[in-house]
């Protein structure tokens, strides 16, 4: 008798005799009360079971698989051994020498699956795990369009699962996994795993649960799990969604191929929350790195989201720029000026910060952090005092230019007065002679500004903000 038949029989007999011996020395209904189960022996038996399963279900060498395919091509199905049948099942996810596609999609592969569809249970039981392995070994690109032959393979596995489980002479961990998670062979294979996957820092918890199935790291299953997780974002309640954002950002870092899909889902959902006006710094800067500045029409990546969602992010940048200008880089923040301009935020589509030498050279942590996170967005103001900074806002069709140092007027023009391709901008360039308006910040300036802006057709839909709350500390 071959060794692969003797080992499982011996283990099964040993377990059965042990159970019978225990029953023979006790009354059935008080066995557990009178005798302690031999846990160490049972654990040893479990380890032996697992080792045999690993041996039984180890992937054959490619050379052996390819020889079996050659044998099938020359002699047909009638002369195949038990090992040959298993090799055919293992072979479905392989690419034969000289072939361009995996065997399952070739004529031979289709014949193999069709044969298994018509086979008796004893043969299906023999090849079931290799078929299962091949099913999960295919990659996302292989199955993204749900090819018919792949669905046929799933049907073979799903239809025969109960019969194979019933005929097993001893329990197998991989079959118990299939029984516990029956949906894994359905149209929604990852549905029950999404929550656990999102609660963990990575896929390890789910991977551990499914370890016995020996799924390849590049299996379509993991791609489906991530996609299903992303799709779940839209259906989350607001509280759960806001809590899960860090997990998805971490997921985006781990799976660069899904960064765009994750970013789209997160931004679209955030735009529907009650906190859409609150800047989410991590989400904001990942979006900036991925798609560039949403304030530029040339940043085509922002076409991935709705116009309203893009507008939300633009307002994040505007708010952050104004806070940085009036609070972070200013020794004496003019709260009234911040509050005045922020009331136009729903009409602002572009903001530009010009930092003077002091702000550009500052080694304060918050200053360096702002410069690093906004690398490529900032310009340098020259021809002025070291402490002077400037900003420009596009409010509808007008451009508002203002400075941090006192004694500088506010200018309103109808076009950008500087060369956008230049990094350094002179102060005098930002004080154009052909300005539409030149306004000073003398007492009562807010009402005068309102009147002049109204004359140019710009009105605020918001009342002026009286409570100035910034995430920055004043230095």
- To which residue do tokens 């090992």 refer? 83
Of the candidates 83, 90, 97, the one whose C-alpha atom is nearest the C-alpha of residue 112 is: 90
Distance from C-alpha of 67 to C-alpha of 21, rounded to nearest angstrom: 48
**The pLDDT of residue 92:** 96
| pLDDT score of 444 more than 80 | yes
Question: Averaged over 406-421, what is the pLDDT?
Answer: 90
Beta-ladder partners of 410: 439
Indicate the SS3 state at residue 84.
helix
Is residue 458 pLDDT above 60, yes or no? yes
Concatenating the DSSP letter of every residue in 190-216 gives TGGGHHHHHHSSSTHHHHHHTGGG---
The lowest-confidence range among 18-32, 45-59, 68-82 is 18-32
Please answer whether residues 148 and 110 qualify as being in contact, where contact means their C-beta atoms are separated by less than 8 angstroms.
no
Residue extents of the structural domains in the chain: 3-56, 62-169, 220-304, 307-455
User: What is the percent of the chain where pLDDT is above 70?
Assistant: 84
Ramachandran area for residue 430 (φ above 0: left; ψ -120 to 50: alpha; else beta): alpha
Residue 438: CB atoms within 10 A of its CB come to 14
The yes-or-no verdict on residue 185 having pLDDT over 50 is yes
Residue 22: pLDDT over 80: no
Q: Label residue 368 by pLDDT band (50, 70, 90).
A: very high
Distance CA 429, CA 379 (A): 13
Q: Which element (helix H / strand E) includes 265?
A: helix 259-270
pLDDT of residue 39: 66
For residue 397, what are its two tokens? 């069709």
Tell me the three-class secondary structure of 337-377, residue by residue.
HHHHHHCCHHHEEEEEEEECHHHHHCCCHHHHHHHHHCCCC
pLDDT digits (tens, 9 = 90+) for 29-46: 444 444 556 766 555 555
User: Residue 182 has which token pair?
Assistant: 């029956």
> pLDDT at position 73, please?
93
As a whole number, mean pLDDT of residues 218-240 equals: 95
Contact 411, 435 (CB under 8 A): yes
Question: Which two structure tokens, joined as six digits, stand for 9?
Answer: 């029989």
Radius of gyration of the chain, Cα coordinates, nearest whole angstrom: 34
Entry pTM: 0.76
Q: Are 356 and 465 in contact (CB under 8 A)?
A: no
Res 333: pLDDT: 57
Helix 148-167 with 173-180: angle, nearest 10 deg: 110
> Residue 336 has what pLDDT?
85
Distances (CA, A) of 122 to 59, 165, 166, 178, 239: 21, 12, 12, 19, 52
Q: For residue 320, give the nearest of 361, 373, 389 by alpha carbon.
A: 373
Other C-beta atoms closer than 10 Å to the C-beta of 355 total: 25
219-242 burial, b if ≥16 CB within 10 A, otherwise e? bbbbbbbbbbbbebbeeeeeeebb
89 with 119: CB under 8 angstroms?
no
**Band of pLDDT at residue 9, cut at 50, 70 and 90:** very low
* Amino acid 18: pLDDT: 53
- State the pLDDT at residue 40: 65
The distance between the two most distant Cα atoms of the chain, rounded to a whole number of Å, is 107
- Count the helices and strands in the chain (H runs, E runs): 21, 7
C-alpha separations of 242 from 153, 239, 270, 276 in Å: 40, 5, 8, 11
Tokens of 41: 């022996």
Is 27 a residue whose pLDDT tops 50?
no
CB 468 within 8 A of CB 335: yes
Ranges 166-175, 381-390, 462-471, most confident: 381-390
CA distance 41 to 11: 12
Structural element, H or E, at residue 50: helix 39-56
- Strands across the sheet with 424-426, in order? 424-426, 379-382, 348-355, 390-395, 398-403, 410-413, 437-439
């Amino acid at each position: 008798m071959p060794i692969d038949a003797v080992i499982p029989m011996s283990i099964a007999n040993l377990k059965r005799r042990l159970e019978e011996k225990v029953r023979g020395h006790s009354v059935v209904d008080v066995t557990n009360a009178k005798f302690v189960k031999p846990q160490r022996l049972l654990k040893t038996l479990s380890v032996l079971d697992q080792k045999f399963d690993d041996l039984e279900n180890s992937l054959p060498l490619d050379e052996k698989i390819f020889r079996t395919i050659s044998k099938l091509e020359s002699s047909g199905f009638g002369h195949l051994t038990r090992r040959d049948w298993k090799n055919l099942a293992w072979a479905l996810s392989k690419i034969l020498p000289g072939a361009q596609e995996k065997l399952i999609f070739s004529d031979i592969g289709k014949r193999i699956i069709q044969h298994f569809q018509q086979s008796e249970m004893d043969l299906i039981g023999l090849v079931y795990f290799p078929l299962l392995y091949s099913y999960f070994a295919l990659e996302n690109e292989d199955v993204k369009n749900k090819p018919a032959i792949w669905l046929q393979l799933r049907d073979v596995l799903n239809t025969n699962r109960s019969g194979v489980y019933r005929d097993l002479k001893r329990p197998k961990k991989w079959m118990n996994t299939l029984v516990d998670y029956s949906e894994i062979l359905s149209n929604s294979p990852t549905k029950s795993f999404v929550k656990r996957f999102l609660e963990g820092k990575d896929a390890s918890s789910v991977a551990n649960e499914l370890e016995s199935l020996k799924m390849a790291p590049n299996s379509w299953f993991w791609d489906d799990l991530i996609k299903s997780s992303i799709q779940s974002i839209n259906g989350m309640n607001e509280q759960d969604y806001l809590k899960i954002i860090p997990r998805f950002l971490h997921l985006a870092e781990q799976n660069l191929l899904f960064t765009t899909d994750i970013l789209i889902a997160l931004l679209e959902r955030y735009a529907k929350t009650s906190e859409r006006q609150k800047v989410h710094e991590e989400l904001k800067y990942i979006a900036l790195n991925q798609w560039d500045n949403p304030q530029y029409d040339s940043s085509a990546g922002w076409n991935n989201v709705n116009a309203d969602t893009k507008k939300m992010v633009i307002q994040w940048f505007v708010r952050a720029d104004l806070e940085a200008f009036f609070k972070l880089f200013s020794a004496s923040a003019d709260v009234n000026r911040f509050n005045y301009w922020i009331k136009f935020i729903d009409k602002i589509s572009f903001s530009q910060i010009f930092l003077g030498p002091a702000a550009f050279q500052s080694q304060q942590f918050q200053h360096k952090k702002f410069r690093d996170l906004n690398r490529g967005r900032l310009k340098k103001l020259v021809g002025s005092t070291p402490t002077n900074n400037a900003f420009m806002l596009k409010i509808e069709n007008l451009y508002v230019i203002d400075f941090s140092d006192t004694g500088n007027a506010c200018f309103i023009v109808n076009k950008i007065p500087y060369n956008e391709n230049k990094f350094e901008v002179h102060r005098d360039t930002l004080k154009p002679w052909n300005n539409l308006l030149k306004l000073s910040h003398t007492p009562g300036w807010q009402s005068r500004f309102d009147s002049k802006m109204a004359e140019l057709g710009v009105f605020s839909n918001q009342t002026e903000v009286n409570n100035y709350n910034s995430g920055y500390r004043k230095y």
